[in-house]
Structure 1
Amino acid sequence: MSRRKRSRRPPRKKRAPSRTREVAGDLLALIFFLAFLATALALAAPKLAARPGELIREGLFLALGYGAWLVPLLILLAAFGLLPLDNRQKALVWFGKLSVLTLALCVAMGSFGSWQSNSAGGEVGIFLNKLLKPALGAFYPIIALIVFLALLIILSGRAIIIPTLRWLERTSSDLRQAAARRAAEARIARQQELERKREAEMAAWVEREAAEAEAEMEPATATEPEEQPEQPPPAQQTIADALAEGEGPEGPSPSVEFSYEPPPLELLSDAPVSPVAPDILERNARIIEQTLDAFDIDAKVLEWEVGPRVTRYEMKIGPGINVSRLHALADNLALELAVPAVRLETPIPGKSAVGVEVPNRKFNKVALKSLLESPEMAANRHPLAFPVGRDLAGKPIIANIHEMHHLLVAGSTGSGKSVCLNSMLVSLIYRNSPATVRFILIDPKRVELSIFKEIPHLATPVVQEIDDAMNALKWVVAEMESRLRGFEEVGVKNLDGYNAQPPETGPLPFIVVVVDELYELIKAAGPMFERLIGRLAHVARAAGIHLVVATQRPDAKVITGGIKVNIPSRISFAVFSQVDSRTILDMPGAEKLLGSGDMLYLPVGQAKPVRVQGALVRDDEVRRVVDFLKQQAQPEYFKEIAEFEGEAGIEGEEAAPAELDELYEEAYDIVVSTGRASTSLLQRRLKIGYNRAARIMEQLEQQGVVSPADHQGNRELLVPRMDPETQESRE
């Protein structure tokens, strides 16, 4: 049975108010406005209102007492309620609230008796008190006052009290920020004055040192032609007597035949500095507070530190707020601040505060020259000290390769790795002669470190071939063991103790091995390279040998667990994902970096990394330094590196390879043709037992055909896969 549809009538149109009613409402509103002016004038200045004003004042006070002061507001609200305005309804609501408040005021004032000839609550208050007082008893005045105050808070709190409290809060916050800004300006002024004094002291010290050096050089130059022929050649002083009896290779030449002159600082360039405007800092602080307040997080910005690239705002959060909520709002803060990314440091080390790191609109480049001239660099006298950059407060960060043991530098392409290596090498050149530090530069990419070729500090020409790189690393291991045997004979523990022995033993230089692309070595000789790194990382520091390894592929196949364990100090530049950051630093954060030298520096023994803007040295500055060095002397390479062919110091099968299984060639063909490195595959194809298949797989690993098994037992093929046609031709 079908339902009957109800016929819908067209809606009736609302009748528009007649023109007469509109005019009447406007006239009535005008009358109320005039009444408002009359009552306000009569109450505020009765003498100006003359006799009519006095009558109005007396009448209002007679009727309402002190509640008469609210009558002008009541009349004004009534006038707004009569006009056809958008806020008409709100005006009528407030008219009702104020009426109730006026009556409550009359009752409260009238309950305390008459203050003058008339009651303080007026006739209305007297009438209401007669009705209420018998029921409430002796405590009636107090109850009436409490009721009035409660009504005052309830009816006007949201419109008057809350905005007033917010205004007081904003005013106090502005006063605190102004005080913090003045304190920061005073602190900056004191720091600048202190830096000027330090620069003046440093300049005076340099002048004194130069004068003393000139005074010492004059008598030396007069006797040098007579004593020079009697001295033995430097090559005869390279090895201590204890080293000559050892089985390892002879040590490198410890000194050079020329008087080394460090490059002048004028070869390096300065970088302009543009300060951040204080109003921008205050605006960002206000935006941070307002953004977090929108998510119900009580936060106050206490102060800020302006760095060359990033400003860190120190923020205090309310009790009971989970810190993980702040990390979830990092993108919201970046959106409100209109910056690429915001990084949160929770908490700031040594402080009960959270750090919000906001990129500056214009960042200042950190020139290497300014760091080399800094008092912090002058205070660190170690030969292997070098400036990393400046932290978030603009303070120079000075690192020491000897204390870092070894260093891993990683980051995406163009993030600043090569500039970091150049800055480190140039800093060591400024501080050391070739007799103190020698470099072994391994550059499989052929474009990054070749700029340093033919400088006197090189122990061997810049290594560009993989085979030469592995040979150089094997020589470094052999040299390390040779030095350690010599230390044992002399009775010292490290290179510093050995060089402090009598001069006839001859000093030995530090050796810094720099590898620019770790991926190329891992791809070509992963297991062998990891064993070399592991051997060097354990004891090379005592022998004065240090590794600096860089890569632009921060994944687990390149930065393996063995490399991370053996190289504890790390520098991470900007990476693409949180996974890459965890691979380098074992924690997130590098994915929030900005590139162009922005880094996280994690030295050995430190729990959390430090954000640093790296030192900048341009290619033209490096060329000027290199040209200056080339004019002094040609490099004296260690011939032992090129002639070295041994396997000293490499424990395992490479030192004494076992005889290969007779099925090794067949297993090699199976693995290379299928692209799979599986022990069970060799069992099935070769029809052998598990033990023999596992032994053959170990031999394939030793020969560099497959990688070591990961935590899931999987192996990677390290040689190119062979198609069937190539395999048939090989057979």
Structure 2
Amino acid sequence: MYELNVNTTAMWDTEHFYELMDDKRIFSTVDSKKIREQLNEIGALPALSNHYDWATLCMSYALIKNHGQNLEKLKATPNTKGYEISSFKTCFQKQSHLWLAILSEQLFQLYPDKKITKDDLYQYITQLWHVGASELWALWERCKEFKQGSDLEARKAFAQELVDLAHKNLQLAKPINPDSTSTSELTNPSVFDDFKQDSKLKEAFDSLSIPVKSIDYLSKGLRYDCYQVQLTKYQDLIKKHDEICSALGRNETSVMIEPADGVSFGYKIKILRPQHEWLERNQQDLEQALRQYQPNDFKLPICIGIDEQGHAIFKDLFDAPHLFITGATKSGKSACMRGLLQSLFTLNDDGTKIEVAILDKARVDYVCFENEQNLMPNQPIKDTDKMLEFLNECLVEMDHRLEQMENLGITNWADFRKTNPKPYRIIVIDELAGLVKVNKEVSKVLERLTAEARKTGFHLILSTQTANSENFSQTLRLNVPSRLAMKVDTADQSRTALDVAGAEKLLGKGDHLIKWVGEPIIFAHSYNL
């Protein structure tokens, strides 16, 4: 029983019952914190909204696996602080009374001859949290060993083990009697709700009369939980996007649907998590990705974003051969552009390989590159008249290079560089619409540059907030087949940029769709720079 205080022989009172659940913080060990971070990174865990979801998952697992009475394991818990939860009620939410009864009974059984104090209760919570986390990590190691060669299958086995345990415990449980609660009534199904998103998807498809063969959890992405759905017969789920969002009770920007390669009647569905659960990638992560880049046959390697699993996406600007980028205000376009340029400078930094020009009326977004050795003199250019003057100079240089190549009988720019090592010239134009609006001649100059520049080592990166026929003409669209669209305002702007709708439904905040020449459209994020 509980020891109330030194001034009474009573073993319990109502006031003490509430005191046990207030005014004392709960701490995890550093190890249990690290285990959650590792399982998150692997993609084995469902989306846990907060620290107390992780705490109750670990404690539930420890108790279900009968570790709550293993004194040896409990005493081995290191006395260090990881996560912090403000109180008992915060940790256990609406089930705090049930959890107090369960934990108290476990403690009374563990120490039958001891008067239990409030400190004992909170220490026991930390111990269970730690033991449960350690056992979950051991479970993951077993799943990985059993499913060697397939992380996806290992993750499925890990999730299924937890779901099976939950179902088994639910079957053994009796209806909760508030006057008499025992350990056998540890159901706590809310801990496993995150594994049941597939059930919500199934209910949504049933309500829309969409026949489903299977729904499988794939992974936890940077912002989205990813599922694979296989239908029993063909239906175009992409066209039913808004209906599916409505059936799930979600807005149109929080659900993404795309075909699943290699699966008949298959689709991948990404469901957005709350923003506080997003896994961000910042300047340090970009620098690490660039350091780890493995040289290949790319002539002008460039990083164009991160996939949902957090892996950097590298492409060859030489193949592009030009890139068009669009995105509305606050879509994350500026951060995306800075990431592109940083990767370009870093991965092509031998001093002679590239020269970069930046035409930016605002100028402020690219101040960080002013000291790059591969930046051309007097850059960035912010005066629109000087921008047009520079572009005309590029036409002259392009014609000069073409003439030199013809005289040598060389048609390939890479071969020409072996005898005349002139640098590739990358021209970055930020806010193309403003430049075109000021001087209509710009469009004609750009059309000619994009048509012939690749032959002579010129590559353009064109950026604008609004994609329309005025600043991205039909001729430019033909000459610039590689496109990147952040969130745009309308479906028409998306079709102008990508030839298909969809970018208008992006979340923003760095999300973008990439249409690289000769490849299907892919979804990516930007580094948070």
| TM-score with structure 2 setting the length | 0.60
Give how far 1:437 is off.
Answer: 1.0
Residue ranges of structure 1 left out of the alignment (5+ in a row): 1-178, 192-276, 618-731
Output the CA distance in 2 between the equivalents of 1:369 and 1:378.
18
1:318 counterpart = 2:232: yes
1:187 counterpart = 2:148: no
* SS state at 2:471 partner: coil
Output the CA distance in 2 between the equivalents of 1:366 and 1:285.
28
The within-5 A match list for 1:74-153 is none
In the alignment, which residue of structure 1 is the partner of 2:399?
481
Q: Which amino acid aligns with 2:375?
A: L
1:580 counterpart = 2:493: yes
In the alignment, which residue of structure 2 is the partner of 1:364?
279
Output the CA distance in 2 between the equivalents of 1:592 and 1:538.
32
The within-5 A match list for 1:101-500 is 187=151, 279=192, 281-299=194-212, 300-319=214-233, 321=235, 323=237, 326-335=240-249, 340-345=253-258, 347-352=259-264, 353-361=266-274, 362-367=277-282, 369-371=284-286, 373-374=288-289, 377-380=293-296, 382-431=298-347, 432-461=349-378, 462-500=380-418
Q: Indicate conservation of the 8 Å contact 1:510/1:545, yes or no.
A: yes
Give how far 1:453 is off.
Answer: 2.6
Give how far 1:568 is off.
Answer: 0.9
In the alignment, which residue of structure 2 is the partner of 1:531?
444
Give how far 1:304 is off.
Answer: 1.8
Q: Which amino acid aligns with 2:331?
A: S
In the alignment, which residue of structure 2 is the partner of 1:9?
none
In the alignment, which residue of structure 2 is the partner of 1:612?
524
Give how far 1:278 is off.
Answer: 9.9
String of CA shifts for 1:237-278, please: whole Å, max 9, x gaps.
Answer: xxxxxxxxxxxxxxxxxxxxxxxxxxxxxxxxxxxxxxxx99
Output the CA distance in 2 between the equivalents of 1:414 and 1:325.
27
* SS state at 1:308 partner: coil
Give how far 1:541 is off.
Answer: 1.0
Give how far 1:344 is off.
Answer: 1.6
Output the CA distance in 2 between the equivalents of 1:281 and 1:402.
44
Output the CA distance in 1 between the equivalents of 2:206 and 2:147.
26
Output the CA distance in 1 between the equivalents of 2:208 and 2:479.
44
Output the CA distance in 1 between the equivalents of 2:458 and 2:509.
30
String of CA shifts for 1:281-325, please: whole Å, max 9, x gaps.
Answer: 522222111111122222231342332122331101122545466
String of CA shifts for 1:604-635, please: whole Å, max 9, x gaps.
Answer: 112x3100112333xxxxxxxxxxxxxxxxxx
* SS state at 1:540 partner: helix
Output the CA distance in 2 between the equivalents of 1:295 and 1:184.
38
Q: Indicate conservation of the 8 Å contact 1:371/1:387, yes or no.
A: no
Q: Indicate conservation of the 8 Å contact 2:356/2:425, yes or no.
A: yes
String of CA shifts for 1:201-260, please: whole Å, max 9, x gaps.
Answer: xxxxxxxxxxxxxxxxxxxxxxxxxxxxxxxxxxxxxxxxxxxxxxxxxxxxxxxxxxxx
* SS state at 1:539 partner: helix
Q: Return the match for 2:516 from 579, 590, 603.
A: 603
Output the CA distance in 2 between the equivalents of 1:321 and 1:409.
32
Q: Indicate conservation of the 8 Å contact 1:385/1:400, yes or no.
A: yes
Q: Indicate conservation of the 8 Å contact 1:306/1:394, yes or no.
A: no
Output the CA distance in 2 between the equivalents of 1:490 and 1:298.
65
Output the CA distance in 1 between the equivalents of 2:241 and 2:487.
19
Structure 1 residues 470 and 279: CA distance shift in structure 2, 3 A: farther
Stretch of structure 1 that moved more, 588-597 or 319-328? 319-328
Q: Indicate conservation of the 8 Å contact 1:334/1:341, yes or no.
A: no
Output the CA distance in 2 between the equivalents of 1:328 and 1:497.
52
Q: Indicate conservation of the 8 Å contact 2:322/2:481, yes or no.
A: yes
Structure 1 residues 338 and 519: CA distance shift in structure 2, 3 A: closer
Residue ranges of structure 2 left out of the alignment (5+ in a row): 1-142, 156-189
Output the CA distance in 1 between the equivalents of 2:220 and 2:191.
10
Give how far 1:560 is off.
Answer: 2.4
Q: Which amino acid aligns with 1:466?
A: T
Output the CA distance in 1 between the equivalents of 2:147 and 2:495.
39
| TM-score with structure 1 setting the length | 0.44
1:514 counterpart = 2:428: yes
Q: Indicate conservation of the 8 Å contact 2:447/2:475, yes or no.
A: yes
Q: Which amino acid aligns with 2:377?
A: T
In the alignment, which residue of structure 2 is the partner of 1:697?
none
Q: Indicate conservation of the 8 Å contact 2:281/2:528, yes or no.
A: yes
String of CA shifts for 1:625-662, please: whole Å, max 9, x gaps.
Answer: xxxxxxxxxxxxxxxxxxxxxxxxxxxxxxxxxxxxxx
Give how far 1:493 is off.
Answer: 2.1
Give how far 1:414 is off.
Answer: 1.4
The higher radius of gyration belongs to 1
Q: Which amino acid aligns with 1:575?
A: V
Paired-residue identity, %: 24
Give how far 1:544 is off.
Answer: 1.0
Output the CA distance in 1 between the equivalents of 2:316 and 2:430.
19
Output the CA distance in 2 between the equivalents of 1:460 and 1:600.
33
* Bigger helix share: 1
String of CA shifts for 1:87-119, please: whole Å, max 9, x gaps.
Answer: xxxxxxxxxxxxxxxxxxxxxxxxxxxxxxxxx
Structure 1 residues 558 and 187: CA distance shift in structure 2, 3 A: same
Output the CA distance in 1 between the equivalents of 2:283 and 2:389.
34
String of CA shifts for 1:185-209, please: whole Å, max 9, x gaps.
Answer: 9617999xxxxxxxxxxxxxxxxxx
String of CA shifts for 1:142-171, please: whole Å, max 9, x gaps.
Answer: xxxxxxxxxxxxxxxxxxxxxxxxxxxxxx
Q: Which amino acid aligns with 2:303?
A: P
Give how far 1:456 is off.
Answer: 2.5
Stretch of structure 1 that moved more, 395-404 or 406-415? 395-404
Structure 1 residues 189 and 330: CA distance shift in structure 2, 3 A: closer
Q: Indicate conservation of the 8 Å contact 1:406/1:567, yes or no.
A: yes
* Bigger strand share: 2
Output the CA distance in 1 between the equivalents of 2:229 and 2:206.
13
* SS state at 1:329 partner: helix
